[in-house]
A = this chain, B = another copy of it.
Amino acid sequence: MALFAMLLGLTTVQAQKASWIWYPGDFDIYMSNVMQNRRTERGSFFPPFWKMDSHYVLVDFHKEFNLAKPEEVKLYVEGTYNVKIDGQAQLGFPKSITVPAGKHKLSLKVYGQDKVPAIFVQGTTVFSDESWLTTFEDKEWIDASGKTSDKSGTTFVNAGTWHLADPLTPPSQFKLPVLPINATKIERQGKGFVADFGKETFGFVKLHALKGKGKVMIYYGESKEEALSTDKCETLDLLSVDLNKKKDSVMVLSKAFRYVNCQFEDGVSADSVSMLYEYSPVSERGSFTSSDPELNKIYEVAKYTFHLNTREFFIDGIKRDRWVWSGDAYQSYLMNYYSFFDAATVKRTLLAQRGKDPVTAHINTIMDYSFYWFLGIYDYYKFTGDQQFVQEVYPRMKSLMNYIDNRRNKNGLLEWMPGDWIFIDWADKLSKDGEVSFEQLLYARSLETMALCAKLANQQSDAKLYDGLAKALRQKIFALYWNPAKQALVHSRINGKQTENVTRYANMFGIFFDYFTPEQKLAVKKNVLLNDKINKITTPYMRFYELEALCAMGEQDYVLKEMKSYWGGMLKLGATSFWEEYNPDKKGTEHLAMYGRPFGKSLCHAWGASPIYLLGKYYLGVKPLTAGYGTYVVNPVLGGLEWMEGTVPTPNGDIKVTCSKTQIKVKADVGTGKLTFSSKTQPTLNGVLLPVKKGNYEVKIEKGKEYLISYQAL
């Protein structure tokens, strides 16, 4: 983990005087197109199948300034542009201008088809940042005298930015940083060699001292088997070389691999192979250590897995798709809040997923994935406190929800219609016919989210509308899907009738959505979650929610064992990152296969990293109560560990928790916390006895102070 330490110095710069700015959301869309179109499959370009949107090609930027003295201002622009002071255009494409003293309006209008129209304005008091206003259409009118009417209808919004602060590196040249890494072992193999980089990694392969004329084949493998399988490995590069002098050569496209198999035609050779590791320079803010070395290893590998999948955006997995899938990203957001707390990457991923109006399909074309997108926005607000983003994105929330509302069937429920993909999970024979309860549950939660966000966006009548719709749907869900005999929600209705099928999905979501009565919760836990007769979940994706539901019901002991068995199971098989799917019943290379292909499975999938989240939220027990950790709760649960300690990041500082069976230590940089715990004996706080409270104790945590509890865990 030495690498992480190195990265600490490279955190995203949060506030710059001058930044590149653009129409909000546009660079997010543009860059996600660039990223998602880097996928190849066995040398063929493999783009996403869903609609990709585009930036606005013509954008106006302006801001008013009141200057004490004239100011020389440098202008950097991506696109064809004009510059106006108080509406008066300057000749040509000036690289600098002088803004006179007094109150003046500086405007730039930029056209860019190939790149996002973007500006970087650099003066002393005049500089580009999010306070600039932008629009993609002026609604002005003029008369025959050339006079502009006072009846403007132009809508301006604040500019978007990623805080890119180098005027000479415009947004179109944005790249993640790289770091040279050597292979841990290189072996001769066939007409070339196989390099092992010691663990799953990502970046650009570099051939050293390449020379000669002919072809070079590079076969990538997350496993050695894959790298050696020249006809079945998922990714490869094929180079045609004609070099009469030795020259180092870096591949154009980044790839995921642990092993690289380089094969050379006669007449071509290279001395060696290394790589440029490409990474997102996020800060490692969250941490977790415990008395259990296996769990610690799980946590570290999860964090590495998650870091590899944290790129320009949160992607699904680094080998195959490298796409922004909403269901996957939603889990990444939650993991992120307990590790990097990189709010910027959440925001840009949400913007990239949603794209632009009109809505012509679900996000990623998947019904459930539209819903996760809504949920992600409210979570973002809850963890970061960034209400402005909710206000900015609210119109696009509403148009997506309109699309969904218009797809209700005559019963007011959602069921498959042409164009919808009902995903839920990768699982054999998982019925997606009829009105699936899981989708209705997510729909209800999304309507609740709409109501909350409408309030944050000051759309009171919308809030009322969505609140009403959500309540009605929740009632309907229980009326239609709750089976009193089975004491569980059934999986679906077909032709207006409940099916006999009970699956984990709706039932586990119902728990942490808090949709059940306490009695229903207990029944569901027994009849579904802890019932081996109900089909098991084999993806870490749905295990995330299953374990979350159990944690939410205080089953940390059980969940700890499950984590050790499931994630520990992958480690025992040699995993250096966590997988897309893991079925303990499979053997050997069966673990590498998926989608009917021997190496189809991703061995480094973001959704494999959920222990980060579970350990932070349900063991260290830290979560916000009000937005941005204004208030929060700390409820440490050892779940069978002797001790644990860790850090949970917040927008403005950290919350540190140490907990053993006899001592709890909490120190927070932010907000007002509520530490809750149980004790067999009467506990002390910083040496002073706490009042008796029948086993349950509560301590108010103020920022900057250290709280030391002596107690006796139950």
Binding site for B on A (CB under 8 A): 30, 33-34, 37, 41-58, 80-82, 89-93, 109, 111, 113-115, 136-147, 149, 151-154, 238, 357-358, 360-361, 365-366, 399, 416-423, 426-428, 581, 594-597, 600
Contact B44 A92 (CB under 8 A): yes
Q: Quick one: which of B30, B48, B596 contacts A58, CB cutoff 8 A?
A: B48
Q: How far is the CB of A47 from chain B (nearest CB, A)?
A: 5
> A142 to B144, alpha carbons, bound, how many Å?
60
Report if A138-B81 is in contact (Cβ < 8 Å); known contacts: A89-B41, A418-B153.
no
Contact A419 B153 (CB under 8 A): yes
Contact B91 A43 (CB under 8 A): yes
Report if A138-B49 is in contact (Cβ < 8 Å); known contacts: A54-B57, A144-B594, A594-B144.
yes
Closest B residue to A153 by CB, please name it.
B419
Report if A420-B357 is in contact (Cβ < 8 Å); known contacts: A45-B111, A55-B54, A595-B146.
no
Report if A139-B361 is in contact (Cβ < 8 Å); known contacts: A92-B44, A113-B114, A238-B92.
yes
Q: How far is the CB of A704 from chain B (nearest CB, A)?
A: 49
> A110 to B417, alpha carbons, bound, how many Å?
27
Give the residue among A50, A113, A358, A418 with the most B Cβ atoms within 10 A. A113
Q: A142-B595, A146-B597 are in contact. List 10 more A-B contacts (CB 8 A).
A: A41-B89, A43-B91, A45-B82, A45-B111, A47-B58, A51-B56, A138-B365, A144-B427, A153-B417, A358-B399
Contact B89 A44 (CB under 8 A): yes
Q: How far is the CB of A355 from chain B (nearest CB, A)?
A: 11
Report if A358-B360 is in contact (Cβ < 8 Å); known contacts: A137-B51, A419-B139.
no
> A636 to B419, alpha carbons, bound, how many Å?
56
Contact A600 B146 (CB under 8 A): yes
> A594 to B81, alpha carbons, bound, how many Å?
26
Closest B residue to A425 by CB, please name it.
B144
> A93 to B252, alpha carbons, bound, how many Å?
15
> A614 to B33, alpha carbons, bound, how many Å?
51
Contact B421 A141 (CB under 8 A): yes
Report if A91-B140 is in contact (Cβ < 8 Å); known contacts: A55-B54, A418-B151.
no
What is the oligomeric copy number?
2
CB-based closest 6 A-B pairs = A153-B419, A114-B114, A146-B595, A153-B418, A141-B421, A44-B89
Q: Quick one: which of B58, B144, B361, B422 contacts A137, CB cutoff 8 A?
A: B361
Contact B358 A141 (CB under 8 A): no
Q: How far is the CB of A698 from chain B (nearest CB, A)?
A: 46
Q: How far is the CB of A320 from chain B (nearest CB, A)?
A: 12
Chain B residues with CB under 8 Å of A153's CB are 361, 365, 417-420
Give the residue among A141, A154, A595 with the most B Cβ atoms within 10 A. A141
Chain B residues with CB under 8 Å of A82's CB are 44-47
Report if A595-B145 is in contact (Cβ < 8 Å); known contacts: A49-B138, A58-B47, A91-B42.
yes
Chain B residues with CB under 8 Å of A49's CB are 137-140
> A34 to B113, alpha carbons, bound, how many Å?
9
Q: How far is the CB of A88 from chain B (nearest CB, A)?
A: 9
Contact A54 B91 (CB under 8 A): no
Chain B residues with CB under 8 Å of A147's CB are 596
> A152 to B361, alpha carbons, bound, how many Å?
12
Chain B residues with CB under 8 Å of A360's CB are 137
Closest B residue to A55 by CB, please name it.
B54
Closest B residue to A147 by CB, please name it.
B596
Report if A57-B33 is in contact (Cβ < 8 Å); known contacts: A146-B596, A147-B596, A153-B418.
yes
Closest B residue to A600 by CB, please name it.
B146
> A139 to B366, alpha carbons, bound, how many Å?
9
Chain B residues with CB under 8 Å of A41's CB are 89
Give the residue among A56, A90, A139 with the most B Cβ atoms within 10 A. A139
Q: What are 9 contact pairs spanning A and B, CB under 8 A?
A: A37-B58, A42-B89, A49-B137, A113-B114, A139-B365, A140-B421, A142-B595, A144-B426, A144-B427
Contact B90 A44 (CB under 8 A): yes
Report if A50-B144 is in contact (Cβ < 8 Å); known contacts: A111-B37, A111-B45, A418-B152.
no
